[in-house]
Chain A
Amino acid sequence: MRGQAHTVEAFAAAVLVVSGLVFATQAAAVTPLSASTSNQHIENQQQATIEGLLAASADNGNLTEAVLYWDTSVDDGDGAFAGTPDSGTYATGPPNGFGTDLNGTLSSRQIAFNVVVRYPDGDGTDTEPMVRMGEPSDNAVSATRTVGLYDGSQLSADGDDRSLGELADGEFYAPDSDSGSQLYAVVEVEVIAWRK
């Protein structure tokens, strides 16, 4: 029995030393064990990057195209973003210009993102998810951009060039917020990004 005394003592010492380290790791706010290794500067850069991405997409029309990339026939007539799997959301950038830019800017840098479209519905707002890569981490950042849709805005998915004004009620995800005017609705595109 005395033959193992030192070994037992060493195990006790090792447990003490490691538990000291674990305690310190738990006490610190951001460590390699946190959900996302991030700091304020990186979060700022990610936020500025997606704000710029939304500005660039709004400038060249990609953002409007992505919002109107709607297939009215799928999902038992409820419609979904064109080309999505059964879940109704893309798992990566959508197959249009906006998606290409999202993939080029964020996916290639190991940044995951969700995209949701928020639209007015009755008295409040409702959301239509466009891209879902998972649950954002604690260090996620987001940026939004509003897009105006008009009665004359045409759907951008292949094989359907009807305008929003020609669609029946319920075919498009957002309802006509003011049927008397040319403005169909103002929707808000939100990109939430976090490090994988």
Chain B
Amino acid sequence: MTEREPDRAASGPDRGQTTLDFAVAMSIFLVTVLFVLAYAPTMFDPFAGGSGTKLVVADRAATTLSADVLVASTADPGVLSIGCVAEFFDKSVDDATCSTTANLDNLDETLSLNGRNARVKIHELDDSTPASPDWATGGLQKETSGSVPTDVAVATRTVSIEGDPYRLTVRVW
């Protein structure tokens, strides 16, 4: 009995040391693994958002509007005709007409949405609410009726109406 006392005394501190060592080791390892697991998905963030065809449709729709359907002359993309803008957003402006042959009432057909939803908005350069210039009553915004936006693809253009620059955004979902 008395001979085993030193052994027990020696093994006590040894066992304690082992547990502490193991705890430190395990926490270092787990923290590293958790960091990697949390970090890895963010590597793919730049590629996420507005996946697939919606990006192309939004970009195409913005180009159609800013360079073809609403312009005063197709030789001058980005410079919009006030008549066409007014007609597109259901406003009326005196002495302004629109010569386009596109069907401005039907968003789906004009922008080839093929059943997708879209919201077209014209706003001031540094503001995100729809612009309401002097000649229009209410904001310049138009959207397909129906669902709430979920995963949205956005395309933007800078356009000029009556000499003032505006931002045109098309959201597709």
Contacts and interface: CB of A to CB of B under 8 A. Distances in A.
Contacts of A32: 42-43, 45-46
A127 interface: no
Nearest to A18: B32
Per DSSP, are chain A's interface residues mostly helix, strand or loop, or mixed?
A: helix
A14 B63 CA distance: 50
B122 interface: no
B36 A13 contact: no
Given A13-B29, A51-B78, A56-B165, A25 B21 contact: no
Nearest to A50: B158
Per DSSP, are chain B's interface residues mostly helix, strand or loop, or mixed?
A: helix
B43 A101 contact: no
Interface string B44-80: 0111001000010001001100100000000011110
Contacts, number: 120
A59 interface: yes
Interface residues of A, number: 41
Contacts of A44: 59
B96 interface: no
B50 A41 contact: yes
A104 interface: yes
A48 B26 CA distance: 52
A28 B47 CA distance: 12
Interface in B1-39: 17-18, 20-22, 24-26, 28-29, 32-33, 36, 39
A49 B125 contact: no
B156 interface: yes
B40 interface: yes
B29 A52 contact: no
Contact of B32 (A13, A51, A104): A13
14 contacts: A6-B25, A10-B28, A14-B28, A14-B32, A17-B33, A21-B39, A32-B46, A39-B46, A41-B50, A45-B156, A52-B157, A60-B160, A105-B165, A108-B125
